[in-house]
Each structure stands twice: as C-alpha cells, then as structure tokens.
Chains A and B, each alone.
Chain A
C-alpha cells in the first residue's frame, strides 16, 4: 500500500477537516481568552501586598500547574456533571467543557507570563501616571497594560500555538477537532499516511496564519512614528501642510 495522492487531495478539501480545524482554533481561542483574563487577576493577586489575595493565587497556580491537561478535561466532562446536575444540560457541550478545562490549566501559565510582563514595566511609569492625578485603574489600563502587553505578546503567541495542539486532547471527551477528524477517517479506511498528512497540512497552515497575525500585532507595538495610523497622525503635519512657504536654501 503506497501513498495515494488522490485520497490525500480528496481529504484535503473534505469539509470535515475544515470544521475540525475551526473547532481546534475555536477551543484554543476561547481557552486563551479565559486563561488571559483569569491569568491577569492571578498575576495581580500574586504580586499583591495583601496576603488574602496572594494565598489563593499561589494555590491556584500550584494546583493547575501540577495537573495534566488530559486529566482536567476528563474531570470537566465526566466527573463534574455527576457532581453538578446543571452541567448535564444540552448547553454543556464538549466544546465548552474543553474550552473551560484548557482555559483553567492555561491560566496558571498565563499568570506567570502576565506577572513578569507587568513587572517588566519601569516603576517610573506608574509614578508618572499617579503624579498626573490618574486613578489606579486608569494607570493600569492606559499606562502599565499597553507596555506589559508588548512584553507578553511573543510568549502568548507561543501559548496559543500550544493550545491549538492541546485541543487535540479533547478527542477523549468526543470533541470533533482536527486530529479526531483524521483519526475517524483512519479508523474507517486504514489510510494512515494520507489522512495524517492532511492533518499535518492543516496544522502547518493554522500555525503559519497565527504567526503572521502575531507579527502584525507586534508591529503595532513598535512605537515609532513610521507606520502611524491616520487617527494618531501628528497635528504638526497639518500645520506643515498649511504653511506652504518653500524652504530657503
């Protein structure tokens, strides 16, 4: 049995793969959002002066850093509905269980990324914001966070790619993500090489797209006057345009 290109190309355009890929991206994206929001509060908690905030944050990171993601997914899908009746309803799909489960685990790692990003911002920045009379929330949102995000972006991109791959773990809770799609096809046809090759192509395309998007976003954090958006164009350009006096030589 040799590699059959016809099967390979047939499967490459099979909508099932496309939906599987979208499901993988969806789970990764949702869990990253959960992880980032939760991770932010954990990071703030871990660096807080108040021990009643520090303690729980520490406990959370310790707990979820230790557990295998696979175990968390199994608990989310199998154990929790037994304990919490509300989770036996239709809305609690494998997609939601996987997104939350991976999000909870990922939050422990995002917390560390966000914590170091926040602490990388020079102390003088907070001081300057406070000296202007900005309230603590404003200082965080308008001064600290934009700078911390720049530091956090590259490692967060890595985490997102990791989550795309981790989403394949959700096959154990019957989520039809990318790898499951390939595996189902293999189980029927036993054409391992062709089906797995299609999965490879899809993963490569997904990660390539993420890499491109990431570098686009990072470019917006360069903070140089080249490549400014229109809305932030300097006023002096307007005044210069008005003053049409030619320069003397």
Chain B
C-alpha cells in the first residue's frame, strides 16, 4: 500500500451515496470529502442522515448506491456491470482497519480493562505481541490523560473517561481517518469538555477527522470546514467563520438560529 498520496486525492471521499431503510430514503446522493489533515464538522438536525453517512463510510453498513474512496481507492464494494457488488465481511474487516470510529455511546468492551480495550485491536487485528500491545496501548491512554486508569473496567469510569478510552482504542491502530459519531451527545454536560479537549489535540496534531456533532463550540474552534447536513443531502459547506457569521442558505440560517 502506498503511503504517499497526491495532495489532490482526498483521504476519504464519498460520491452519490444513497441509502434507504424500508423504502425510506435517508441519504439522497451525498457528495463529501475530507483531505489529509483536515477536520470536518458535520452539523444537522436529528434524523438528517449524518450518522448514517458515517456508518456507511466506516463500512458498517452497505450503501445502496454510490462510491466510497479511501486514499483514492474504492472500498466497501465494487462495480459489477453497473450494479453495486458489496465485499464480503472478511474483506470489509481488512478495509475498516484504516478507518477509526468513535461511537456516541462509546461501546467499550465491558469485560476488558481500559488498557485491554485499547490493546485488543493491536493483538487481534494487527497481530502485535501481547506485551508490546499493552505498552503501546498504555502510551495512547497516557495521551488521552488516562494512564492512571488503565486497570479500570468501563463500568468504573465516567462517561467522559469511557469516551476518551474509546478514542484511544481507535487511535492506537493509526487510522488514516477518524470518524466521530456525536461523541459528546451521551455525556453529562460537565464531561463534554475533557472529550472535546482530546479531540482538539488530535486535530492540532494533524489527524484527519470527520466529526458529526452538535457542539458548535468544537466546530468553531477545531474544524477546518463546517457542513450542514439536512434531508439526506449536504446543504452548505464553508469555513467556520464564514459558516457561522455569514451562512448562504436559508436552511443554515434557520438551523443556526435554533442552536445558538
């Protein structure tokens, strides 16, 4: 696999993405891309399809139509005489290794300590030895400020701490891009800050990120570009200052008036 990709090729790109559940169209031809080192915040009302887009990008659900490209290469499915042919679950598993995913409800493994939650991906997916995996996991836990909590089980951690472990769990595999699905929506308000701080540090360190969020503060401070998602399509996309101060679309103005 080539690590050097031309600057013109987005790290992750979707085009004409479609998805329907029981005939109810959730994604109606989404065009979206994130470049290397870029942080994109995706805002939008509940049920607008933004989380669905993320799940499709993470290859956790098959798209009905459209393409997903990672570093310019198509993943998840290929074209079979004009029809979409989804890859097998085993093949998808390999492709998912370059994409990190952080869930709204953390989804930490309750039977493993914080350290082993982070180490599991290394041992199982990358075949790293147990001792080295735990050392590397410990380093990443230290990075998210949880070195002292490594031996604790998820049930013994606060929501904010759990989410930071979940970020570490995805981060330890050195993904090309990190996807965040409303990472602070399930948190008590006083715990949101510590998670956002970790994410802002990640952004500053050059991680490529797509963040579906309701946190306007994060979008303003850490995002290179803010996107409004509504009705299964992208309505507006602009730099934070432009997006918040001078929105072009009526729908964006309406949305911002509700969140502000």
Q: List the interface of chain A (C-beta within 8 A of B).
A: 122, 124-125, 127-136, 138, 142-143, 146-147, 150, 221, 223-225, 228, 232-237, 239
A224, A225, A232, A237: most-surrounded residue (chain B CB, <10 A): A225
On whether the beta carbons of A127 and B103 are closer than 8 Å, the reply is yes
Q: Is A235 a contact of B135 with CB atoms below 8 Å?
A: yes
* Additional A-B contact list (19), CB under 8 Å, known A131-B101, A136-B89: A124-B105, A125-B109, A129-B109, A130-B89, A131-B96, A132-B97, A132-B169, A133-B97, A134-B125, A135-B89, A146-B111, A147-B109, A150-B111, A223-B153, A225-B152, A225-B153, A233-B151, A235-B151, A236-B151
Q: Are the CB atoms of A234 and B173 closer together than 8 Å?
A: no
- Neighbouring B residues of A143 by C-beta, 8 Å: 109
Known contacts A132-B169, A133-B97, A224-B155; A234/B113 CB under 8 A: yes
Q: Separation in Å of the A240 CB from the closest CB of chain B?
A: 8
Q: Are A236 and B121 in contact (CB under 8 A)?
A: no
Main secondary structure of the interface of A (DSSP, over half): helix
- Which of B90, B121, B124, B156 is A225 in contact with, Cβ under 8 Å? B156
Chain B CB within 10 Å, residue with most, of A122, A135, A237:
A135
A142 to B95, CA, bound (A): 20
Q: Which of A146, A150, A225, A236 has the largest count of B CB atoms less than 10 A from its CB?
A: A236
Chain A residue nearest to B116 in the complex (CB): A232
Q: Contact partner of B109 among A128, A225, A237, A239, CB < 8 A?
A: A128
By a beta-carbon cutoff of 8 Å, the part of chain B in contact with chain A is 58, 60, 89-90, 92-97, 99-101, 103, 105, 107-111, 113, 115-116, 120-121, 124-125, 134-135, 138, 147-153, 155-156, 166, 169-170, 173
Q: How far is the CA of A131 from the CA of B177 in the complex (A)?
A: 13
Bound Cα distance A128, B96 (Å): 11
Given contacts A142-B124, A225-B156, contact A128 B103 (CB under 8 A): yes
**Nearest residue in B to A150 (C-beta to C-beta)?**
B111
By secondary structure, the B interface counts as helix
How distant is the Cα of A223 from the Cα of B138 in the complex, in angstroms?
19
The docked-state distance in angstroms from the alpha carbon of A90 to that of B130 is: 47
Report whether B169 and A127 are in contact in the complex, using a CB–CB cutoff of 8 Å.
Answer: no
Q: Which residue of B is nearest A122, CB measured?
A: B107
The distance in angstroms between the C-alpha atoms of A234 and B157, with both chains bound, is: 15
- 27 A-B pairs whose Cβ atoms sit less than 8 Å apart in the complex: A125-B107, A127-B107, A128-B108, A128-B166, A130-B93, A130-B96, A132-B96, A132-B120, A132-B121, A134-B124, A135-B89, A136-B93, A142-B120, A143-B109, A147-B109, A147-B110, A147-B111, A223-B153, A223-B155, A224-B153, A224-B155, A225-B151, A232-B116, A232-B151, A235-B138, A235-B150, A236-B138
| Cα(A4)–Cα(B63), bound, Å | 79
**Separation in Å of the B56 CB from the closest CB of chain A?**
12
**Which residues of the other chain, A, contact B124 by a CB distance below 8 angstroms?**
132, 134, 138, 142
Q: Are A234 and B115 in contact (CB under 8 A)?
A: yes
Which chain A residue shows the least CB distance to B98?
Answer: A133
Which residues of chain A are within 8 angstroms of B96 by Cβ–Cβ distance?
A: 130-133
| Contact yes or no, A133 B116, CB < 8 A | no
A136 touches B60 (CB 8 A): no
Smallest distance from the beta carbon of A138 to chain B beta carbons, Å? 5
> 9 shortest A-B CB distances, which residue pairs?
A234-B151, A133-B97, A128-B107, A124-B107, A131-B101, A133-B96, A132-B121, A234-B150, A146-B111
In the bound complex, CA of A249 to CA of B124 (Å): 44
Closest Cβ of chain A to B96, distance in Å, is 4
Contacts of B100 in A (CB 8 A): 131
Min CB gap B174→A, angstroms: 12
- CB contacts (< 8 Å) of A150 on chain B: these are 111
A225 and B124 alpha carbons, distance in the complex (Å):
23
Contact pick for B147, options A134, A147, A236, CB 8 Å: A236
Complex Cα spacing A224 to B155, Å: 8
Q: How far is the CB of A144 from chain B (nearest CB, A)?
A: 10
Do A131 and B155 have beta carbons less than 8 Å apart? no
A121 to chain B, nearest CB (A): 10
A201 to B168 Cα, complex, angstroms: 55
